[in-house]
Amino acid sequence: MQYARLTKEQLEELHQEFINFLATQSITAQEWKEIKTNKPQVAEEELDIFSDIVWERVLTNALYLEHVSPNQIHLFELKKHKMHLIAIKVEKEDVDISTKEGYAWLQENLGDEQVVFFSATKDYSDKPNLDKFKLIQQGATITKGALYNWFSRFVDVKG
């Protein structure tokens, strides 16, 4: 498995897609029940293959990732051959930008000397989707890019 198995909740959400996946392999509902009962290892392998297919599609279509921690925001724009990063670091110890109040402080104090902006561009490895997946494993979430686009007005993102 290249990525991670989908959770039970995710698999339930994708129930119809999983049925279609099994159908492409000529596995009927009755055969699937028999596989789960008599060949659990084969069932696990099928779930892993399906999970990788779903992750591959999701990661290929992802355009932005963001990761917010108490004193930093990392915003990624996912281009075809590289990713752009906008990072915002708040050096004021009593501000937690992962809270509504802390984020409001950040918006009101963008010019404060305790707010530092960084930007960078990085080429993907030979497996771009795995690069994206690793960021998700570290806590990033897929977004529509509203924060990235808003903060891109304040930094020069090259590339």
User: Could you tell me if 108 and 138 lie in one domain?
Assistant: yes
Domains held by the chain: number: 2
What average pLDDT score do residues 23-37 get? 91
Considering 61, 79, 103, which residue would you say is the last residue of a domain?
Answer: 61
- pLDDT by residue (tens digit) across 48-92? 999 999 999 999 999 999 999 999 999 999 999 999 999 999 999
| Nearby residues of 154 by Cβ (< 8 Å), 6 or more positions away | 110, 117
Do 20 and 52 lie in a common domain? yes
DSSP letter, residue 99: S
Report the alpha-carbon distance of residue 34 to residue 117 in Å, rounded.
57
**55, 106: one domain:** no
Whether 159 shows a pLDDT value over 70: the answer reads no
The verdict on 80 and 123 lying in the same domain is yes
123, 86: one domain: yes
Same-domain check for residues 84 and 137: yes
Asked if 139 and 73 sit in the same domain, the reply is yes
Domain assignment of residue 143, given as a range: 64-151
90 and 51 co-located in one domain: no
State CA 151 to chain mean position distance: 19
Q: Please indicate, yes or no, if residue 2 is contained in any of the structural domains.
A: no
Query: DSSP secondary structure string, 51-63?
Result: HHHHHHHHHHH--
d(C-alpha 154, C-alpha 107), whole Å? 12
Indicate the angle between helix axes 15-24 and 40-61, nearest 10 degrees.
Answer: 110
- The structure's pTM equals 0.86
pLDDT in tens, 99-116: 999 999 999 998 899 999
Residue 3 falls inside a structural domain: no
